[in-house]
Amino acid sequence: MNAIEVRGLTKRFGQFTAVDHIDFDVKQGEIFGFLGANGAGKSTTIRMLCGLLSSTEGTARVGGFDINTDPHSVKQSIGYMSQKFSLYEDLTVEENIDFFGRVYGITESALKERKAWVLDIANLHGREKSITGTLSGGWKQRLALGCAVLHRPRIVFLDEPTSGVDPVMRRKFWELINELSADGVTVLVTTHFLEEAEYCNDIILINAGKIIASGSPKELKRDHIKHPILEVHCSDVVRAMERIEEEPWAVETSIFGTTIHVNVENEQQGRDAITSLLHRNGITVNGIERITPSLEDVFIYLLEHGGGKG
Partner 1 sequence: MNMLRLQALVRKEFQQFIKDKRLLPIIFVLPILQLTFLGFAASLDVKNIVFVLADMDKSSESREFIRSFTNSGYFTMGYTTEDYNTVRTYLDNSQATMAVIIPPQFGAKVLRRESVDVQVIFDGSEGNSTAIASGYAMQIINRYSQEVLTEIVGDVRRLGGVTTETRAWYNPTLVSRVFMVPGVLVLILLITTTNLTAMAIVKEKEIGTLEQLLVTPLRPIELIVGKLIPFTIIGLIIVTVALLVMVFGFGIPVRGSLLLLYAFNGAFLMTSLGLGLFVSTISKTQQQAMMVGMFFVMMPMMYISGFVFPVENMPVALQWVSHAIPMKYYLVAIRSIILKGAGLSELWFEGVMLVVMGIAVLAASVLRFREKID
Whole-number minimum distance, CB 211 to partner 1, in Å? 22
Q: Is the CB of 90 or the CB of 223 nearer to partner 1? A: 90
Whole-number minimum distance, CB 299 to partner 1, in Å? 28
Determine whether 12 is exposed, middle or buried from the number of CB atoms within 10 Å of its CB (0-12, 13-18, 19+).
Answer: middle
Q: Is the CB of 7 or the CB of 102 nearer to partner 1? A: 102
Whole-number minimum distance, CB 91 to partner 1, in Å? 6
H or E stretch including 75?
helix 71-77
SS3 228: coil
Q: Cα–Cα distance between 135 and 193 in angstroms, integer?
A: 24
Q: Cα–Cα distance between 285 and 10 in angstroms, integer?
A: 49
Residue ranges that bind partner 1, judged by CB under 8 A: 13, 47, 50-54, 71-72, 75-76, 78, 80, 82, 84-91, 95, 98-100, 102-105, 131
Q: Cα–Cα distance between 128 and 109 in angstroms, integer?
A: 17
User: Smallest Cα–Cα separation from 201: which of 213, 183, 227, 219?
Assistant: 219
Query: Which H, E and C letters describe 161-194, residue by residue?
Result: CCCCCCHHHHHHHHHHHHHHHHCCCEEEEEECCH
Whole-number minimum distance, CB 46 to partner 1, in Å? 10
Q: Is the CB of 75 or the CB of 172 nearer to partner 1? A: 75
Find out whether 53 and 44 touch, Cβ atoms under 8 Å: yes
Q: Is the CB of 86 or the CB of 284 nearer to partner 1? A: 86
Whole-number minimum distance, CB 174 to partner 1, in Å? 22
Phi, psi angle pair for 245, to nearest 5°: -55, -30
Q: Is the CB of 23 or the CB of 95 nearer to partner 1? A: 95
Q: Is the CB of 52 or the CB of 303 nearer to partner 1? A: 52
Whole-number minimum distance, CB 75 to partner 1, in Å? 5
